[in-house]
Amino acid sequence: MDPEFVIRQMSRSELDILVDWAAGEGWNPGLNDAQIFWDTDPEGFIAAELAGELVGGGSIVSYDGRFGFMGFFIVRPHYRGRGFGTQLWHYRRDRLISRLQAPAVIGMDGVFNMQGFYARGGFALANRDLRFEGVGVAAPPAEGLVDLREVPWGEVLRYDSAHFPAPRERFLHAWVNQPGGRALGAVQGAALGGYGVIRACRQGFKIGPLFAADADTAEALYQGLADSAPGEPIYLDVPEHNAEAMALAQRHGMREVFGCVRMYYGPAPKLPDREIFGVTTFELG
């Protein structure tokens, strides 16, 4: 190990640098991602430096010690192939395990060509998440859709917790209320039957999450969210094993532009896969 290579906690300003690197890699981060991610878990970001220069980093976010997620794993191109990324990745994995209740459960979305590396690090394949690109289209408001902020907050938390491996109230409050975004809920009686969020990104807009009880509800939510960005690029990260979610993307003429493998360290969470039409983010789960 190079004595000048140091792995340590990341500063808030360094996270902005990491987000810029992510944009350069084509990951198209949201305009508010850095602050929301940081506020979710300020201890969940790790930096790697060489001779005082930031050369890599990544997230190891803990959701109240009950579930962890590894993302934003980047090493600057000039420093790749020298073992720094391997050291950084293993440090992040082990540090996150130490922050979680036993048995530690960690999720991640990794690029396809790194699947073997992650498997050797103890992660098992769950499914593929495919990013689709389309175009926003103006649409009349659908019956039953409301601004998610009008739904009792306890109901929003209840519904989200049924579709994500752990409660994430701090993250969710900021995500739903972020500037330049829209969050819609599908109300069925006194309960939510689905919700979705669209946010502004470096290029266009991303929808995520998109959770819905059925394909019709997902369709209404998608159209309601895409209505906020007519003519703009729209992105949706679809779990490939949800056939109805794949059909939604195809129905709207979206094309596949990127993809990741969803992998887990520890027992994979049991989630209602047929109700997950779009994941929240590749960076925080």
Give domain 5-130's CATH number out of 3.30.2350.10, 3.40.630.30, 3.40.109.10, 3.30.420.40: 3.40.630.30
- Ordered DSSP codes for 212-232: ESSHHHHHHHHHHHHTTSBTS
Instruction: Count Cα neighbours of 193 within 13 Å in the Cβ-side half-sphere.
Output: 18
pTM of the model: 0.96
| pLDDT for the residue numbered 1 | 64
Residue 216 CA from chain centroid, whole number: 24
Fold of the domain spanning 131-259: Aminopeptidase (3.40.630)
Q: For the chain, which residues make up each domain, given as ranges?
A: 5-130, 131-259
Provide the total of helices (H) and of strands (E) in the chain, helices listed first. Answer: 8, 13
DSSP type of residue 1: -
Regions in the chain scoring below 70 on pLDDT:
1
pLDDT value of residue 189: 85
Q: For the packed helices 12-24 and 33-40, what is the interaxial angle rounded to 10 degrees?
A: 130
pLDDT value of position 32? 98
Tokens 């990104």, residue? Answer: 201
Q: What is the pLDDT of residues 206-222, one digit of tens each?
A: 999 999 999 999 999 99
- What pLDDT, on the 0 to 100 scale, is given for residue 190? 83
